[in-house]
Structure 1
Amino acid sequence: MPQTVVGTDGSPPAAVAVEHAAREAACRGTRLRIVHSVDWVPPPGIATALDEAGRRALRESGEHVLSEAEARARSVAPDIDVRTTLAGGDPRPVLAELSRDALMTVVGSSGSSGITSGLLGSVSRHLATRAEGPVLVVRETPAPGGPVVVGVDGSSPAEAATAFAFAEAAACGGPLVALHAWSEWSVPPVPPHDPALRYAKAPGELQAGEERLLAELLSGWGERCPDVAVERRAVRERPRQALIEASRTARLLVVGSRGEGGFAGLRLGSVSMAVLHHAHCSVAVVRGRRDDSQ
Protein backbone atom coordinates (compact mmCIF):
# COMPACT_ATOMS: atom_id res chain seq x y z
CA MET A 1 0.00 0.00 0.00
CA PRO A 2 1.43 3.42 -0.87
CA GLN A 3 2.20 5.65 2.05
CA THR A 4 2.41 9.29 2.95
CA VAL A 5 5.35 9.97 5.27
CA VAL A 6 5.36 12.83 7.76
CA GLY A 7 8.14 13.84 10.11
CA THR A 8 7.42 15.24 13.55
CA ASP A 9 9.47 16.62 16.41
CA GLY A 10 6.50 17.59 18.58
CA SER A 11 6.71 21.30 17.69
CA PRO A 12 3.66 23.36 16.64
CA PRO A 13 4.76 23.49 12.96
CA ALA A 14 5.17 19.71 13.02
CA ALA A 15 1.68 19.32 14.49
CA VAL A 16 0.23 21.29 11.58
CA ALA A 17 2.24 19.11 9.19
CA VAL A 18 0.83 15.94 10.78
CA GLU A 19 -2.73 17.19 10.32
CA HIS A 20 -2.01 18.14 6.72
CA ALA A 21 -0.42 14.76 6.03
CA ALA A 22 -3.41 12.96 7.55
CA ARG A 23 -5.78 14.80 5.23
CA GLU A 24 -3.53 14.00 2.28
CA ALA A 25 -3.48 10.31 3.22
CA ALA A 26 -7.26 10.28 3.52
CA CYS A 27 -7.99 11.81 0.12
CA ARG A 28 -5.11 10.04 -1.65
CA GLY A 29 -6.02 6.66 -0.16
CA THR A 30 -2.61 5.95 1.35
CA ARG A 31 -1.27 4.74 4.65
CA LEU A 32 0.14 7.46 6.92
CA ARG A 33 3.55 6.84 8.46
CA ILE A 34 4.52 9.24 11.23
CA VAL A 35 8.25 9.37 11.90
CA HIS A 36 10.13 10.78 14.88
CA SER A 37 13.88 10.47 15.09
CA VAL A 38 15.87 10.52 18.32
CA ASP A 39 19.51 11.46 17.98
CA TRP A 40 21.58 9.49 20.50
CA VAL A 41 24.76 11.43 19.73
CA PRO A 42 25.60 13.94 22.48
CA PRO A 43 25.79 17.61 21.51
CA PRO A 44 29.18 19.25 20.98
CA GLY A 45 31.07 19.79 24.21
CA ILE A 46 29.67 16.72 25.95
CA ALA A 47 32.28 14.01 25.93
CA THR A 48 30.28 10.92 26.82
CA ALA A 49 27.36 9.31 25.08
CA LEU A 50 24.08 8.73 26.88
CA ASP A 51 23.92 5.85 29.31
CA GLU A 52 21.08 3.34 29.18
CA ALA A 53 18.89 5.41 31.48
CA GLY A 54 19.35 8.44 29.26
CA ARG A 55 18.55 6.44 26.16
CA ARG A 56 15.43 5.04 27.80
CA ALA A 57 14.28 8.55 28.72
CA LEU A 58 14.80 9.75 25.16
CA ARG A 59 12.99 6.71 23.80
CA GLU A 60 10.03 7.28 26.10
CA SER A 61 9.93 10.94 25.12
CA GLY A 62 9.97 9.95 21.45
CA GLU A 63 7.16 7.47 21.94
CA HIS A 64 5.13 10.21 23.61
CA VAL A 65 5.71 12.53 20.64
CA LEU A 66 4.53 9.79 18.28
CA SER A 67 1.50 8.96 20.42
CA GLU A 68 0.37 12.58 20.42
CA ALA A 69 0.97 12.88 16.69
CA GLU A 70 -1.05 9.74 15.97
CA ALA A 71 -3.94 11.06 18.06
CA ARG A 72 -3.81 14.34 16.18
CA ALA A 73 -3.81 12.56 12.82
CA ARG A 74 -6.79 10.40 13.78
CA SER A 75 -8.69 13.45 14.98
CA VAL A 76 -8.75 14.86 11.44
CA ALA A 77 -8.83 11.57 9.48
CA PRO A 78 -10.20 8.80 11.72
CA ASP A 79 -10.40 6.13 9.02
CA ILE A 80 -6.82 6.13 7.76
CA ASP A 81 -4.25 3.44 8.47
CA VAL A 82 -1.62 5.05 10.72
CA ARG A 83 1.79 3.59 11.49
CA THR A 84 4.51 5.15 13.63
CA THR A 85 8.28 4.82 13.44
CA LEU A 86 10.73 5.79 16.17
CA ALA A 87 14.09 6.08 14.46
CA GLY A 88 17.56 6.80 15.75
CA GLY A 89 19.90 9.43 14.42
CA ASP A 90 19.64 12.61 12.40
CA PRO A 91 16.06 12.93 11.05
CA ARG A 92 17.24 14.34 7.71
CA PRO A 93 18.75 11.15 6.22
CA VAL A 94 16.06 9.06 7.93
CA LEU A 95 13.26 10.90 6.15
CA ALA A 96 15.22 11.12 2.90
CA GLU A 97 15.56 7.33 2.87
CA LEU A 98 11.85 6.81 3.59
CA SER A 99 10.98 9.20 0.77
CA ARG A 100 12.19 6.61 -1.74
CA ASP A 101 8.97 4.63 -1.47
CA ALA A 102 6.57 7.38 -0.36
CA LEU A 103 3.88 9.03 -2.43
CA MET A 104 5.01 12.21 -0.70
CA THR A 105 7.01 13.25 2.36
CA VAL A 106 5.49 15.98 4.51
CA VAL A 107 7.34 18.25 6.94
CA GLY A 108 6.73 21.54 8.70
CA SER A 109 8.46 24.66 7.46
CA SER A 110 10.45 24.87 10.69
CA GLY A 111 10.86 22.77 13.79
CA SER A 112 11.57 23.05 17.48
CA SER A 113 14.64 25.18 16.86
CA GLY A 114 12.37 28.20 16.70
CA ILE A 115 13.29 29.28 13.18
CA THR A 116 10.86 31.92 12.01
CA SER A 117 8.22 31.15 9.39
CA GLY A 118 10.10 33.21 6.81
CA LEU A 119 12.97 30.73 6.81
CA LEU A 120 13.24 27.03 6.16
CA GLY A 121 14.18 24.64 8.91
CA SER A 122 17.18 22.39 8.32
CA VAL A 123 15.04 19.27 7.86
CA SER A 124 12.66 20.79 5.31
CA ARG A 125 15.54 22.35 3.38
CA HIS A 126 17.47 19.07 3.34
CA LEU A 127 14.49 17.08 2.11
CA ALA A 128 13.61 19.61 -0.57
CA THR A 129 17.08 19.08 -2.05
CA ARG A 130 17.76 15.41 -1.28
CA ALA A 131 14.47 13.49 -1.13
CA GLU A 132 13.75 10.98 -3.90
CA GLY A 133 10.08 11.83 -4.31
CA PRO A 134 7.77 14.82 -3.80
CA VAL A 135 8.25 16.85 -0.62
CA LEU A 136 5.40 18.90 0.81
CA VAL A 137 6.54 21.68 3.14
CA VAL A 138 3.58 22.82 5.24
CA ARG A 139 3.63 26.49 6.06
CA GLU A 140 0.16 27.25 7.39
CA THR A 141 -3.39 25.96 7.33
CA PRO A 142 -4.41 26.16 3.65
CA ALA A 143 -6.84 28.79 2.39
CA PRO A 144 -10.36 27.28 2.34
CA GLY A 145 -11.38 26.58 -1.23
CA GLY A 146 -8.09 27.85 -2.59
CA PRO A 147 -6.72 26.31 -5.78
CA VAL A 148 -3.70 24.14 -6.36
CA VAL A 149 -1.24 26.34 -8.26
CA VAL A 150 1.45 24.72 -10.39
CA GLY A 151 4.32 26.38 -12.19
CA VAL A 152 4.51 25.32 -15.86
CA ASP A 153 7.49 26.03 -18.11
CA GLY A 154 7.86 22.98 -20.36
CA SER A 155 10.81 21.48 -18.50
CA SER A 156 10.92 17.86 -17.33
CA PRO A 157 10.66 18.82 -13.63
CA ALA A 158 7.67 21.04 -14.42
CA GLU A 159 6.00 18.11 -16.19
CA ALA A 160 6.41 16.03 -13.02
CA ALA A 161 5.02 18.92 -10.98
CA THR A 162 2.04 19.19 -13.32
CA ALA A 163 1.27 15.49 -12.91
CA PHE A 164 1.47 15.82 -9.12
CA ALA A 165 -0.75 18.91 -9.12
CA PHE A 166 -3.46 17.29 -11.25
CA ALA A 167 -3.41 14.17 -9.06
CA GLU A 168 -3.71 16.37 -5.97
CA ALA A 169 -6.63 18.38 -7.34
CA ALA A 170 -8.39 15.27 -8.63
CA ALA A 171 -8.05 13.34 -5.37
CA CYS A 172 -8.51 16.10 -2.81
CA GLY A 173 -10.81 18.44 -4.72
CA GLY A 174 -10.65 22.06 -5.75
CA PRO A 175 -9.61 23.91 -8.88
CA LEU A 176 -6.15 24.04 -10.42
CA VAL A 177 -4.29 27.08 -11.71
CA ALA A 178 -1.57 26.36 -14.27
CA LEU A 179 0.75 29.36 -14.08
CA HIS A 180 3.24 30.14 -16.84
CA ALA A 181 5.42 33.20 -16.25
CA TRP A 182 7.33 34.71 -19.13
CA SER A 183 9.32 37.76 -20.12
CA GLU A 184 11.09 38.97 -23.23
CA TRP A 185 14.23 37.31 -21.87
CA SER A 186 12.51 33.92 -21.81
CA VAL A 187 11.44 34.14 -25.46
CA PRO A 188 14.02 32.88 -28.02
CA PRO A 189 15.85 35.94 -29.41
CA VAL A 190 15.44 37.11 -32.97
CA PRO A 191 18.67 36.47 -34.96
CA PRO A 192 20.31 39.92 -35.20
CA HIS A 193 21.90 39.09 -38.57
CA ASP A 194 18.55 38.58 -40.31
CA PRO A 195 17.14 41.96 -41.45
CA ALA A 196 13.68 40.47 -41.93
CA LEU A 197 13.60 39.38 -38.28
CA ARG A 198 15.46 42.29 -36.78
CA TYR A 199 12.64 43.50 -34.56
CA ALA A 200 11.07 41.51 -31.77
CA LYS A 201 7.40 40.68 -31.82
CA ALA A 202 4.94 43.09 -30.25
CA PRO A 203 3.98 42.34 -26.63
CA GLY A 204 0.50 41.25 -27.70
CA GLU A 205 1.96 38.69 -30.09
CA LEU A 206 4.31 37.42 -27.42
CA GLN A 207 1.45 37.07 -24.94
CA ALA A 208 -0.66 35.16 -27.45
CA GLY A 209 2.27 32.87 -28.21
CA GLU A 210 2.87 32.11 -24.55
CA GLU A 211 -0.83 31.37 -24.05
CA ARG A 212 -0.70 28.91 -26.95
CA LEU A 213 2.42 27.33 -25.48
CA LEU A 214 0.71 26.88 -22.11
CA ALA A 215 -2.30 25.27 -23.78
CA GLU A 216 0.03 22.86 -25.59
CA LEU A 217 1.87 21.99 -22.37
CA LEU A 218 -1.44 21.10 -20.71
CA SER A 219 -2.71 19.11 -23.68
CA GLY A 220 -4.25 15.81 -22.59
CA TRP A 221 -4.67 16.63 -18.92
CA GLY A 222 -8.30 17.62 -19.38
CA GLU A 223 -9.07 14.14 -20.69
CA ARG A 224 -7.10 12.43 -17.93
CA CYS A 225 -8.63 14.52 -15.14
CA PRO A 226 -12.02 15.65 -16.50
CA ASP A 227 -13.37 16.66 -13.08
CA VAL A 228 -10.59 19.16 -12.39
CA ALA A 229 -11.47 22.76 -13.21
CA VAL A 230 -8.36 24.31 -14.77
CA GLU A 231 -7.48 27.96 -15.18
CA ARG A 232 -4.62 28.66 -17.58
CA ARG A 233 -2.71 31.76 -16.56
CA ALA A 234 0.17 33.12 -18.68
CA VAL A 235 1.66 36.21 -17.08
CA ARG A 236 4.44 38.57 -18.07
CA GLU A 237 6.45 38.38 -14.87
CA ARG A 238 9.49 36.78 -13.27
CA PRO A 239 8.55 33.20 -12.29
CA ARG A 240 9.41 33.52 -8.60
CA GLN A 241 7.41 36.72 -8.20
CA ALA A 242 4.41 35.34 -10.10
CA LEU A 243 4.37 32.14 -8.06
CA ILE A 244 4.77 33.89 -4.71
CA GLU A 245 1.96 36.29 -5.56
CA ALA A 246 -0.31 33.42 -6.66
CA SER A 247 0.40 31.62 -3.38
CA ARG A 248 -1.53 34.30 -1.46
CA THR A 249 -4.85 32.67 -2.35
CA ALA A 250 -3.68 29.09 -3.00
CA ARG A 251 -4.02 26.09 -0.74
CA LEU A 252 -0.93 24.49 -2.30
CA LEU A 253 1.83 25.67 -4.61
CA VAL A 254 3.57 22.98 -6.69
CA VAL A 255 6.95 23.54 -8.33
CA GLY A 256 9.36 21.29 -10.16
CA SER A 257 13.04 21.15 -9.40
CA ARG A 258 16.03 19.18 -10.55
CA GLY A 259 19.38 18.43 -9.02
CA GLU A 260 22.27 20.47 -10.32
CA GLY A 261 26.01 19.99 -10.27
CA GLY A 262 27.79 16.66 -10.22
CA PHE A 263 25.11 14.70 -8.38
CA ALA A 264 21.34 14.88 -8.60
CA GLY A 265 19.73 16.74 -5.74
CA LEU A 266 22.73 18.61 -4.37
CA ARG A 267 21.17 21.97 -5.20
CA LEU A 268 17.68 23.34 -5.55
CA GLY A 269 16.74 25.68 -8.36
CA SER A 270 16.56 29.37 -7.51
CA VAL A 271 12.83 29.63 -8.24
CA SER A 272 12.00 26.60 -6.10
CA MET A 273 14.13 27.87 -3.24
CA ALA A 274 12.59 31.33 -3.45
CA VAL A 275 9.04 30.04 -3.20
CA LEU A 276 9.97 27.68 -0.37
CA HIS A 277 11.23 30.65 1.62
CA HIS A 278 8.59 33.21 0.69
CA ALA A 279 5.34 31.49 -0.38
CA HIS A 280 2.23 32.26 1.62
CA CYS A 281 0.96 28.68 1.49
CA SER A 282 2.31 25.15 1.64
CA VAL A 283 4.72 24.19 -1.15
CA ALA A 284 5.26 20.85 -2.88
CA VAL A 285 8.64 20.38 -4.55
CA VAL A 286 8.56 17.63 -7.17
CA ARG A 287 11.71 16.18 -8.72
CA GLY A 288 10.40 12.75 -9.58
CA ARG A 289 12.55 9.65 -9.16
CA ARG A 290 16.19 9.43 -10.07
CA ASP A 291 17.06 6.76 -12.59
CA ASP A 292 19.72 4.17 -11.90
CA SER A 293 22.35 6.09 -13.82
CA GLN A 294 22.30 9.00 -11.41
Structure 2
Amino acid sequence: MNGATTTRWIVVGVDGSDSSRHALEWSAYQAMIRDLGVLIVAAARPLATDGFDVWSSVEEQAGKAEGVGARSLLDHAQDWVSRLFPELSVRTRMSFDRPAQALVTESHGPGVAAVVVGSRGLSGIAAAFVGSVGIELAARSPVPVIVLPRDHAAAHGVRSRVIVGVDGSEPSRRALAFAFDQARFADTDLVAVSAWQPLVAFAAATGPIPPELFDDATAAEAARQALDDELMDLRLVRPDVRVHTRVVRAHPVVALLEEATPADLIVVGSRGRGGFRGLLLGSVSHSVLHGARGPVAILR
Protein backbone atom coordinates (compact mmCIF):
# COMPACT_ATOMS: atom_id res chain seq x y z
CA MET A 1 0.00 0.00 0.00
CA ASN A 2 3.03 2.30 -0.23
CA GLY A 3 2.92 3.32 -3.87
CA ALA A 4 0.44 4.18 -6.59
CA THR A 5 2.11 1.74 -8.98
CA THR A 6 1.54 -1.28 -6.76
CA THR A 7 -1.80 -0.52 -5.08
CA ARG A 8 -4.92 -2.18 -6.44
CA TRP A 9 -8.22 -0.39 -5.92
CA ILE A 10 -11.86 -0.89 -5.21
CA VAL A 11 -13.75 1.95 -6.90
CA VAL A 12 -16.90 3.10 -5.11
CA GLY A 13 -19.42 5.66 -6.31
CA VAL A 14 -21.03 8.02 -3.81
CA ASP A 15 -23.90 10.47 -4.34
CA GLY A 16 -24.98 11.39 -0.83
CA SER A 17 -27.66 8.70 -0.60
CA ASP A 18 -27.95 6.22 2.25
CA SER A 19 -27.30 3.29 -0.07
CA SER A 20 -24.05 4.87 -1.26
CA ARG A 21 -22.94 5.15 2.37
CA HIS A 22 -23.54 1.40 2.73
CA ALA A 23 -21.55 0.88 -0.48
CA LEU A 24 -18.70 3.00 0.85
CA GLU A 25 -18.47 1.17 4.17
CA TRP A 26 -18.76 -2.24 2.50
CA SER A 27 -16.02 -1.31 0.02
CA ALA A 28 -13.70 -0.07 2.73
CA TYR A 29 -14.03 -3.29 4.72
CA GLN A 30 -13.50 -5.45 1.63
CA ALA A 31 -10.43 -3.39 0.69
CA MET A 32 -9.03 -3.75 4.20
CA ILE A 33 -9.21 -7.55 4.27
CA ARG A 34 -7.67 -7.76 0.77
CA ASP A 35 -4.91 -5.16 1.25
CA LEU A 36 -6.43 -2.95 -1.46
CA GLY A 37 -7.05 0.77 -1.60
CA VAL A 38 -10.35 2.60 -2.06
CA LEU A 39 -10.97 5.14 -4.80
CA ILE A 40 -14.09 7.20 -4.05
CA VAL A 41 -15.79 8.74 -7.09
CA ALA A 42 -18.50 11.39 -7.24
CA ALA A 43 -20.07 13.04 -10.26
CA ALA A 44 -20.38 16.84 -10.31
CA ARG A 45 -24.17 16.93 -10.31
CA PRO A 46 -26.89 17.66 -7.70
CA LEU A 47 -26.45 15.34 -4.74
CA ALA A 48 -29.12 12.97 -3.53
CA THR A 49 -31.30 14.16 -0.67
CA ASP A 50 -32.76 10.89 0.56
CA GLY A 51 -30.17 9.80 3.11
CA PHE A 52 -26.65 10.14 4.46
CA ASP A 53 -27.79 11.89 7.62
CA VAL A 54 -24.23 12.07 8.85
CA TRP A 55 -23.38 14.22 5.82
CA SER A 56 -26.69 16.08 5.59
CA SER A 57 -25.02 19.47 5.99
CA VAL A 58 -22.71 18.96 3.03
CA GLU A 59 -25.26 19.82 0.39
CA GLU A 60 -26.61 22.78 2.35
CA GLN A 61 -23.14 24.32 2.66
CA ALA A 62 -21.92 23.50 -0.83
CA GLY A 63 -23.67 26.27 -2.73
CA LYS A 64 -24.68 26.14 -6.36
CA ALA A 65 -21.28 26.19 -8.06
CA GLU A 66 -20.74 23.21 -10.35
CA GLY A 67 -18.70 20.53 -8.63
CA VAL A 68 -18.56 22.18 -5.21
CA GLY A 69 -21.12 19.79 -3.71
CA ALA A 70 -19.34 16.76 -5.15
CA ARG A 71 -15.98 17.99 -3.84
CA SER A 72 -17.41 18.50 -0.36
CA LEU A 73 -19.01 15.06 -0.45
CA LEU A 74 -15.72 13.47 -1.47
CA ASP A 75 -13.86 15.22 1.34
CA HIS A 76 -16.38 14.02 3.91
CA ALA A 77 -16.40 10.50 2.45
CA GLN A 78 -12.62 10.30 2.64
CA ASP A 79 -12.63 11.54 6.22
CA TRP A 80 -15.40 9.07 7.14
CA VAL A 81 -13.55 6.06 5.71
CA SER A 82 -10.23 7.15 7.22
CA ARG A 83 -11.82 7.30 10.65
CA LEU A 84 -13.27 3.79 10.26
CA PHE A 85 -10.11 2.26 8.76
CA PRO A 86 -7.06 4.45 9.55
CA GLU A 87 -4.60 2.12 7.77
CA LEU A 88 -6.54 2.12 4.48
CA SER A 89 -5.18 3.90 1.41
CA VAL A 90 -7.97 6.23 0.22
CA ARG A 91 -8.15 8.44 -2.86
CA THR A 92 -10.95 10.53 -4.32
CA ARG A 93 -11.87 11.59 -7.82
CA MET A 94 -14.52 13.99 -9.12
CA SER A 95 -15.95 13.47 -12.59
CA PHE A 96 -17.97 15.77 -14.81
CA ASP A 97 -19.45 12.81 -16.71
CA ARG A 98 -22.82 11.33 -15.82
CA PRO A 99 -22.45 8.86 -12.92
CA ALA A 100 -22.62 5.62 -14.91
CA GLN A 101 -20.06 6.80 -17.45
CA ALA A 102 -17.77 8.11 -14.72
CA LEU A 103 -17.70 4.71 -13.04
CA VAL A 104 -17.32 2.81 -16.32
CA THR A 105 -14.30 5.00 -17.11
CA GLU A 106 -12.76 4.28 -13.71
CA SER A 107 -13.44 0.55 -14.10
CA HIS A 108 -10.95 0.49 -16.99
CA GLY A 109 -8.21 2.11 -14.90
CA PRO A 110 -4.98 0.32 -13.95
CA GLY A 111 -5.19 -1.82 -10.84
CA VAL A 112 -8.98 -1.65 -10.45
CA ALA A 113 -10.25 -4.85 -8.83
CA ALA A 114 -13.98 -4.08 -8.59
CA VAL A 115 -16.54 -1.26 -8.71
CA VAL A 116 -19.19 -0.83 -5.99
CA VAL A 117 -22.36 1.27 -6.04
CA GLY A 118 -25.56 1.58 -4.03
CA SER A 119 -28.87 0.91 -5.75
CA ARG A 120 -30.69 3.76 -3.98
CA GLY A 121 -33.59 1.33 -3.61
CA LEU A 122 -34.79 1.45 -7.21
CA SER A 123 -38.33 0.18 -7.70
CA GLY A 124 -39.17 -2.43 -10.30
CA ILE A 125 -40.36 0.28 -12.69
CA ALA A 126 -37.35 2.53 -12.21
CA ALA A 127 -35.02 -0.43 -12.59
CA ALA A 128 -36.24 -0.99 -16.15
CA PHE A 129 -34.71 2.26 -17.39
CA VAL A 130 -31.45 1.93 -19.31
CA GLY A 131 -30.05 4.88 -17.37
CA SER A 132 -29.92 2.93 -14.11
CA VAL A 133 -26.32 3.27 -12.92
CA GLY A 134 -26.05 -0.25 -11.53
CA ILE A 135 -27.45 -1.91 -14.65
CA GLU A 136 -25.37 0.07 -17.12
CA LEU A 137 -22.23 -0.33 -15.07
CA ALA A 138 -22.70 -4.10 -14.69
CA ALA A 139 -23.18 -4.41 -18.44
CA ARG A 140 -20.08 -2.40 -19.39
CA SER A 141 -17.50 -2.82 -16.64
CA PRO A 142 -14.55 -5.16 -17.34
CA VAL A 143 -14.22 -5.86 -13.59
CA PRO A 144 -16.77 -7.23 -11.10
CA VAL A 145 -19.55 -4.82 -10.16
CA ILE A 146 -21.15 -5.02 -6.71
CA VAL A 147 -24.48 -3.32 -6.06
CA LEU A 148 -25.75 -2.81 -2.52
CA PRO A 149 -29.47 -2.27 -1.87
CA ARG A 150 -30.75 0.73 -0.05
CA ASP A 151 -31.71 -1.20 3.07
CA HIS A 152 -28.57 -3.33 3.30
CA ALA A 153 -28.03 -3.94 7.01
CA ALA A 154 -24.86 -6.05 7.17
CA ALA A 155 -22.06 -4.00 8.75
CA HIS A 156 -18.36 -4.74 8.60
CA GLY A 157 -17.36 -7.67 10.79
CA VAL A 158 -20.71 -9.45 10.44
CA ARG A 159 -20.21 -13.02 9.26
CA SER A 160 -21.90 -13.83 5.98
CA ARG A 161 -21.84 -16.35 3.15
CA VAL A 162 -21.18 -16.13 -0.57
CA ILE A 163 -24.02 -17.44 -2.76
CA VAL A 164 -23.15 -18.10 -6.41
CA GLY A 165 -25.37 -19.11 -9.29
CA VAL A 166 -23.89 -21.80 -11.56
CA ASP A 167 -25.25 -22.61 -15.04
CA GLY A 168 -22.19 -23.60 -17.09
CA SER A 169 -21.92 -20.36 -19.09
CA GLU A 170 -18.67 -18.43 -19.36
CA PRO A 171 -19.92 -15.48 -17.25
CA SER A 172 -21.07 -18.04 -14.66
CA ARG A 173 -17.59 -19.57 -14.56
CA ARG A 174 -16.04 -16.16 -13.98
CA ALA A 175 -18.62 -15.53 -11.26
CA LEU A 176 -17.75 -18.86 -9.67
CA ALA A 177 -14.01 -18.08 -9.62
CA PHE A 178 -14.74 -14.66 -8.08
CA ALA A 179 -17.00 -16.28 -5.49
CA PHE A 180 -14.26 -18.72 -4.46
CA ASP A 181 -11.80 -15.85 -4.01
CA GLN A 182 -14.37 -13.81 -2.08
CA ALA A 183 -15.11 -16.72 0.28
CA ARG A 184 -11.40 -17.39 0.81
CA PHE A 185 -10.56 -13.78 1.67
CA ALA A 186 -13.56 -13.44 3.98
CA ASP A 187 -13.05 -16.90 5.50
CA THR A 188 -16.70 -17.68 4.98
CA ASP A 189 -18.82 -20.41 3.43
CA LEU A 190 -19.53 -20.63 -0.29
CA VAL A 191 -22.91 -21.92 -1.43
CA ALA A 192 -23.06 -22.94 -5.11
CA VAL A 193 -26.63 -23.01 -6.44
CA SER A 194 -27.76 -24.84 -9.56
CA ALA A 195 -31.42 -24.48 -10.48
CA TRP A 196 -33.26 -26.81 -12.81
CA GLN A 197 -36.82 -26.86 -14.12
CA PRO A 198 -39.01 -29.64 -15.53
CA LEU A 199 -38.18 -30.26 -19.18
CA VAL A 200 -41.86 -30.69 -20.04
CA ALA A 201 -42.20 -26.90 -20.12
CA PHE A 202 -39.60 -26.66 -22.87
CA ALA A 203 -40.59 -29.66 -24.99
CA ALA A 204 -42.64 -27.67 -27.51
CA ALA A 205 -39.84 -25.19 -28.10
CA THR A 206 -36.90 -27.58 -28.25
CA GLY A 207 -38.33 -30.48 -30.22
CA PRO A 208 -38.34 -34.20 -29.36
CA ILE A 209 -36.77 -35.07 -26.01
CA PRO A 210 -35.96 -38.62 -24.90
CA PRO A 211 -38.70 -39.87 -22.54
CA GLU A 212 -36.25 -40.60 -19.75
CA LEU A 213 -35.33 -36.92 -19.49
CA PHE A 214 -38.86 -36.05 -18.43
CA ASP A 215 -38.16 -37.80 -15.15
CA ASP A 216 -37.48 -35.27 -12.39
CA ALA A 217 -34.97 -37.52 -10.65
CA THR A 218 -32.94 -37.88 -13.85
CA ALA A 219 -32.99 -34.12 -14.46
CA ALA A 220 -31.96 -33.38 -10.87
CA GLU A 221 -29.09 -35.86 -11.04
CA ALA A 222 -27.88 -34.35 -14.32
CA ALA A 223 -27.93 -30.88 -12.73
CA ARG A 224 -26.05 -32.18 -9.69
CA GLN A 225 -23.38 -33.81 -11.85
CA ALA A 226 -22.99 -30.66 -13.94
CA LEU A 227 -22.55 -28.59 -10.77
CA ASP A 228 -19.91 -30.97 -9.41
CA ASP A 229 -18.04 -30.75 -12.73
CA GLU A 230 -18.04 -26.96 -12.61
CA LEU A 231 -16.70 -26.97 -9.05
CA MET A 232 -14.04 -29.64 -9.50
CA ASP A 233 -11.05 -27.55 -10.61
CA LEU A 234 -11.69 -24.68 -8.22
CA ARG A 235 -12.05 -27.06 -5.29
CA LEU A 236 -8.59 -28.41 -6.13
CA VAL A 237 -6.89 -25.00 -6.21
CA ARG A 238 -8.92 -23.59 -3.29
CA PRO A 239 -9.16 -26.57 -0.90
CA ASP A 240 -9.49 -24.23 2.08
CA VAL A 241 -12.85 -22.84 0.89
CA ARG A 242 -15.85 -24.46 2.59
CA VAL A 243 -18.21 -25.30 -0.27
CA HIS A 244 -21.85 -26.31 0.02
CA THR A 245 -24.02 -27.18 -2.96
CA ARG A 246 -27.71 -26.66 -3.60
CA VAL A 247 -29.46 -28.30 -6.55
CA VAL A 248 -32.92 -26.76 -6.62
CA ARG A 249 -36.03 -27.45 -8.68
CA ALA A 250 -36.93 -23.82 -9.30
CA HIS A 251 -36.33 -20.82 -11.50
CA PRO A 252 -32.74 -19.57 -11.00
CA VAL A 253 -33.90 -16.21 -9.61
CA VAL A 254 -36.17 -17.88 -7.06
CA ALA A 255 -33.46 -20.36 -6.08
CA LEU A 256 -30.87 -17.65 -5.45
CA LEU A 257 -33.13 -15.18 -3.65
CA GLU A 258 -34.63 -17.85 -1.39
CA GLU A 259 -31.18 -19.16 -0.44
CA ALA A 260 -29.61 -15.78 0.34
CA THR A 261 -30.08 -13.70 3.48
CA PRO A 262 -29.48 -9.92 3.64
CA ALA A 263 -25.99 -10.58 5.02
CA ASP A 264 -24.95 -12.77 2.08
CA LEU A 265 -23.22 -11.72 -1.13
CA ILE A 266 -24.92 -13.11 -4.24
CA VAL A 267 -22.62 -13.60 -7.24
CA VAL A 268 -23.97 -14.10 -10.76
CA GLY A 269 -22.81 -13.83 -14.35
CA SER A 270 -24.13 -10.94 -16.39
CA ARG A 271 -25.97 -13.37 -18.65
CA GLY A 272 -26.41 -17.11 -18.71
CA ARG A 273 -26.82 -19.62 -21.48
CA GLY A 274 -29.20 -18.45 -24.17
CA GLY A 275 -29.19 -14.79 -23.09
CA PHE A 276 -30.13 -12.17 -25.66
CA ARG A 277 -27.07 -10.14 -26.60
CA GLY A 278 -29.13 -7.01 -27.23
CA LEU A 279 -30.05 -6.70 -23.57
CA LEU A 280 -27.81 -4.85 -21.13
CA LEU A 281 -28.10 -7.70 -18.63
CA GLY A 282 -29.57 -11.18 -18.74
CA SER A 283 -32.96 -11.71 -17.16
CA VAL A 284 -31.58 -13.64 -14.18
CA SER A 285 -28.88 -11.11 -13.23
CA HIS A 286 -31.33 -8.23 -13.77
CA SER A 287 -34.00 -9.82 -11.56
CA VAL A 288 -31.53 -10.84 -8.85
CA LEU A 289 -30.03 -7.35 -8.84
CA HIS A 290 -33.39 -5.77 -8.04
CA GLY A 291 -34.81 -8.49 -5.83
CA ALA A 292 -31.90 -9.13 -3.49
CA ARG A 293 -31.89 -7.90 0.10
CA GLY A 294 -28.10 -7.93 0.28
CA PRO A 295 -25.16 -7.11 -1.99
CA VAL A 296 -25.02 -8.56 -5.49
CA ALA A 297 -21.85 -9.03 -7.57
CA ILE A 298 -22.19 -9.28 -11.35
CA LEU A 299 -19.43 -10.47 -13.67
CA ARG A 300 -19.39 -10.24 -17.44
**Gap change, CA 1:220 and 1:254, over 3 Å in 2:** same
For the 8 Å contact 1:178–1:233, the answer to whether it is kept is: yes
- Greater CA drift, 197-206 or 160-169: 197-206
For the 8 Å contact 1:180–1:235, the answer to whether it is kept is: yes
**Residues 10-49 of structure 1: pairs in structure 2 closer than 5 A:** 10-39=16-45
- Unpaired runs of 5+ in structure 1? 41-53, 288-294
Match of 2:159 among 124, 136, 145: 145
TM value normalised by structure 1: 0.81
Q: What is residue 51 of structure 2 aligned with on the other side?
A: none
TM value normalised by structure 2: 0.79
The structure having more radius of gyration, on CA atoms, is: 1
Q: What is residue 133 of structure 1 aligned with on the other side?
A: 143
**Residues 40-119 of structure 1: pairs in structure 2 closer than 5 A:** 57-101=65-109, 102-110=112-120, 115=122
**CA deviation string 1:215-254 (max 9, x = no partner):** 1110121222222110011111110111111223552000
Give percent identity, aligned residues only.
35
- Unpaired runs of 5+ in structure 2? 1-6, 47-61
Residue 205 (str. 1) matches residue 218 (str. 2): yes
**Gap change, CA 1:186 and 1:173, over 3 Å in 2:** farther
The 2-side partners of 1:115 and 1:233 are apart by 29
Q: What is residue 158 of structure 1 aligned with on the other side?
A: 172
The 2-side partners of 1:16 and 1:117 are apart by 21
Residue 218 (str. 1) matches residue 231 (str. 2): yes
Q: What is residue 12 of structure 2 aligned with on the other side?
A: 6
Secondary structure at the residue paired with 1:9?
coil
Cα RMSD between the aligned structures? 2.8
- Greater CA drift, 72-81 or 270-279: 72-81
Match of 1:173 among 168, 183, 187: 187
The 1-side partners of 2:268 and 2:117 are apart by 16
Deviation at 1:285, TM superposition (A): 0.6
The 1-side partners of 2:223 and 2:159 are apart by 28
For the 8 Å contact 2:268–2:297, the answer to whether it is kept is: yes
Deviation at 1:160, TM superposition (A): 0.5
- Greater CA drift, 219-228 or 235-244: 219-228
* Residues matched between the structures, number: 265
**Gap change, CA 1:228 and 1:76, over 3 Å in 2:** farther
**CA deviation string 1:145-198 (max 9, x = no partner):** 2210000011101000001111111112210000000112399979849xxx44
